[in-house]
Structure 1
Amino acid sequence: MADTTAPRGGRRLHLFDLDGTLIRGSAAAVEISRQLGLSAEIERLEQDFLARGLASDEFAVQARELWAELTPEQVAAAFDGAPWLSGIREVWADIRARGDHCAVISLSPDFFVQRLLEWGVEAAEGSRWPSVPFTRPIHRPGVLDASSKVRIAGELCGRFGVRPADCVAYGDSMSDAALFATVPETVAVNADHHLVDLATHHYAGADLREAYALVQRGAAGTPGTRG
């Protein structure tokens, strides 16, 4: 991505992370594993990923083994029971009403992420997994990592006809740092220390409408913090 220093032009593209951002204090993998009674197992795997440098494709391979008996009904229950921020649908409806665009980019399985299309997001990009119930192994090249977010953001800019200079990114953790470094306006949502110094705005709370309001106030020249 380039041209991040140019003045703001027309339509904007709002890019949302999923785990820890739209889902507060949790992740798709955690919610799926809870349905299978595998919370302790996924917690160990998450620690290997977050603290010990486990690659995202290897995480997916091991998670696929844990979830060998996963059913579509359990995926639906995990999605419906996740601790989502309030106001997600309303924020996305407002973005679209303004003529702007919104998308989710997540390392989580696409079979979970794409359910957000029903909530009004225009694109929902996740790691490519086999369909549930699984009959195939993980295709490692289809698993996203942090750098993939930058690539996909660029592709979405082309799809929606938006300049990188007109993107806003929302995230919570180190996996969002590369994207935060490439767009001019960013919102740290219930974020860890990795993003504190990188973000334009900071939000701590349970309502996406409040985080989105920081962006709207920033457009009026008053960026800030909420929470």
Structure 2
Amino acid sequence: MKPKGIVFFDIDGTLVPSGSSSSFLAARLGHQPELDRAETLYAQGELTNQQVSEIDALGWRGVSAMSIDQWLESLPLIEGIDTVVSWCRDNDVEPVLASLAWLPVSRWIAERHGFTANGGPRVGFDGSVYDGTVAEHFDEFDKRDRALRFAGKMGVPVGGCCAVGDSRSDIPLFQAVPASLALNADAAAQDAASTAIIAQDLTEILPWLREWLQRFD
């Protein structure tokens, strides 16, 4: 059944408030300093997402999917996620992940917290372990385009969509939808969003979501 609207949620910096899921995993994989430098250069526009993904993927070589899933059990997430997802479901709003986080991260968060996953970059997989290559690149424009295609498949016009994010990778999607919320965001994302707030709990975005949803009543 077609939902009344769709909310697209970023992961890194938004649902994962302290850094990125890639950095969290890289600390366990042993290449966090290299990845953190690369992510800083990406934020400054000095590296592409493709270059950062290739640096990160190398650290996954020889690691099993089971190990990644076990580490994700302790991934720090913002408080209030389940309450916001429940509000979305109760109000016929589809909560969808739109993120540059690796696909196993998106799937793990979606399964445990009731989001709908919608793609992302993939590390190559060889038999039972990751092979250290990027099987599918996914940048900020792919993120926007995948989100809009998802809305089309669900029969929801762009006017019925909004987005929540925090950084450079969210800007193309912010520019494509009529309502966007920069949550704990950098200056560029705040400038691109229709609203910006600082919050320690995701439930603090509910007044904004309620106001957005009232436009369809």
TM-score calculated relative to the size of structure 1: 0.84
Q: 1:62 aligns with which of 38, 55, 68?
A: 55
Q: 2:29 aligns with which of 36, 55, 61?
A: 36
Within 5 A, what are the aligned runs for 1:1-227? 11-118=4-111, 119-131=113-125, 133-135=129-131, 137-139=133-135, 142-219=136-213
SS at match of 2:120: strand
- How far apart, CA to CA, are the structure 1 residues paired with 2:16 and 2:180? 18
Contact 2:58–2:132 (CA under 8 A) maintained in structure 1 = no
Contact 1:106–1:126 (CA under 8 A) maintained in structure 2 = yes
- How far apart, CA to CA, are the structure 1 residues paired with 2:24 and 2:192? 28
Alignment CA distance shift 1:180-1:32 (3 Å): same
Give the C-alpha shift of residue 220 in structure 1: 5.1
Q: Superposition RMSD on alpha carbons, in Å?
A: 2.0
**Percent identical:** 24
Gaps (5+ residues) in structure 2?
A: none
Give the C-alpha shift of residue 189 in structure 1: 0.6
- How far apart, CA to CA, are the structure 2 residues paired with 1:109 and 1:20? 14
TM-score calculated relative to the size of structure 2: 0.87
Give the C-alpha shift of residue 73 in structure 1: 4.2
Aligned to 1:6: none
Alignment CA distance shift 1:100-1:172 (3 Å): same
Give the C-alpha shift of residue 130 in structure 1: 2.3
Gaps (5+ residues) in structure 1?
A: 1-9, 222-227
The alignment covers a number of residue pairs equal to 210
- How far apart, CA to CA, are the structure 1 residues paired with 2:138 and 2:206? 26
- How far apart, CA to CA, are the structure 2 residues paired with 1:99 and 1:26? 31
SS at match of 1:96: helix
Give the C-alpha shift of residue 27 in structure 1: 0.8
For residues 138-183 of structure 1, what are the alpha-carbon distances to aligned partners after superposition, in whole Å with 9 as ceiling and x for unaligned? 23xx211111122111111122211100101001001111111111
- How far apart, CA to CA, are the structure 1 residues paired with 2:143 and 2:58? 25
